Amino acid sequence: MTSSFDPVFRTSILVRFGDCDPAGIVFYPRYFEMFNNLVEDWCAVGLEHSFRALHMEQGLGLPTVHIETDFVAASELGETLCAELQVRKFGATSITLGIRLLGPDGADRVRCTLVLVLLDLHKRSAVSLPEALRTRIARFCVTQ
Amino acid sequence: MTSSFDPVFRTSILVRFGDCDPAGIVFYPRYFEMFNNLVEDWCAVGLEHSFRALHMEQGLGLPTVHIETDFVAASELGETLCAELQVRKFGATSITLGIRLLGPDGADRVRCTLVLVLLDLHKRSAVSLPEALRTRIARFCVTQ
Amino acid sequence: MTSSFDPVFRTSILVRFGDCDPAGIVFYPRYFEMFNNLVEDWCAVGLEHSFRALHMEQGLGLPTVHIETDFVAASELGETLCAELQVRKFGATSITLGIRLLGPDGADRVRCTLVLVLLDLHKRSAVSLPEALRTRIARFCVTQ
Amino acid sequence: MTSSFDPVFRTSILVRFGDCDPAGIVFYPRYFEMFNNLVEDWCAVGLEHSFRALHMEQGLGLPTVHIETDFVAASELGETLCAELQVRKFGATSITLGIRLLGPDGADRVRCTLVLVLLDLHKRSAVSLPEALRTRIARFCVTQ
Percent of chain A with pLDDT over 70: 97
Instruction: Render pLDDT for B99-120 as a digit per residue (tens, 0 to 9).
Output: 999 999 999 999 999 999 999 9
* D-chain residue closest to A24, CA distance: D56
Q: Domain range for residue D18?
A: 9-138
Q: How many CB atoms lie within 10 A of CB B20?
A: 26
* B-chain residue closest to C63, CA distance: B17
In a domain, B35, yes or no: yes
CB C32 within 8 A of CB A28: yes
Closest approach of chain D CAs to the CA of A30, in angstroms?
11
Say if residue C54's pLDDT is above 90. no
The pTM of this model reads 0.95
Inter-chain touch D17–C21, beta carbons under 8 Å: yes
Instruction: Render pLDDT for C73-107 as a digit per residue (tens, 0 to 9).
Output: 999 999 999 999 999 999 999 999 999 999 999 99
Dihedral-angle region of residue B53 (phi above 0 means left; psi in -120 to 50 means alpha; beta otherwise): alpha
In a domain, C4, yes or no: no
Mean pLDDT score, A44-69: 91
CA distance B35 to B78: 18
Flag whether residue A21 sits within 8 Å of chain D, measured between CB atoms. no
In a domain, C1, yes or no: no
In a domain, D1, yes or no: no
- Structural domain count of chain A: 1
Instruction: Render pLDDT for D37-72 as a digit per residue (tens, 0 to 9).
Output: 999 999 999 999 898 888 888 889 999 999 999 999
CB C35 within 8 A of CB C100: no
Tell me the CATH number at C102: 3.10.129.10
In terms of C-beta density within 10 A (0-12 exposed, 13-18 middle, 19 or more buried), how is residue B97 classed?
A: buried
Which residues 57-86 of C are in CB contact (within 8 Å) with D?
77
In a domain, B40, yes or no: yes
* C-chain residue closest to B50, CA distance: C78
Inter-chain touch A24–D78, beta carbons under 8 Å: no
In a domain, B18, yes or no: yes
In a domain, B4, yes or no: no
Q: How many CB atoms lie within 10 A of CB C48?
A: 11
Residues of C in contact with D77 (CB under 8 A): 22
In a domain, B2, yes or no: no
